[in-house]
Structures are given as C-alpha cells and as structure tokens.
C-alpha cells in the first residue's frame, strides 16, 4: 500500500492499486497502455471495472 494514502487522490490510489502488483512482477506497460489505463480511471472506472486489465496486458505472448 502507498504510504500516506490519505494524502493522495482516489484516482491516484486506484492507479497504484491496479499497477503496482504488475510492476512488481516485472511488467512495464507501454506508454499507450499506461495512458489508456489513466484515461479509464479519469472517466470514473472502478477497481472492479479495471481489475483484469493488467492481466490482459501481461498475458500477451510477445511480452
């Protein structure tokens, strides 16, 4: 969990919650993938809406 999460916006926390596990597993999203995730978060997507997004990205055979 991010330190001092109460100081961060809910959208920032959601981004960290979604992305950090994948980053720790060694997955580095492309710029387009990261921007797509951020755009979806900014339009009001919830964790449940996006939970499988990184799983979809990391399961590509060319990654």
| Side-chain-facing half-sphere of 26: CA atoms under 13 Å | 2
What SS3 state is found at 29?
coil
Separation CA 42–CA 21 (nearest Å) = 20
d(CA 4, CA 29): 25
What's the pLDDT at 61?
52
Assess contact for 20 and 28: CB atoms under 8 A: no
Give the closest residue to 12 by CA, choosing from 52, 28, 20: 20
- Residue 24 has what pLDDT? 85
Per-residue pLDDT at 50: 86
Rounded average pLDDT per 10-residue block, the chain, 63 residues: 80 87 84 90 90 67 50
* Per-residue pLDDT, 39: 94
């Amino acid at each position: 969990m991010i330190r001092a999460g109460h100081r961060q916006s809910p959208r920032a926390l959601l981004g960290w919650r979604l992305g950090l596990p994948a980053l720790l597993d060694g997955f580095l999203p492309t710029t387009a993938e990261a921007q797509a995730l951020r755009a979806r978060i900014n339009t009001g997507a919830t964790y449940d809406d996006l939970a499988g997004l990184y799983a979809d990205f990391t399961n590509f055979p060319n990654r």
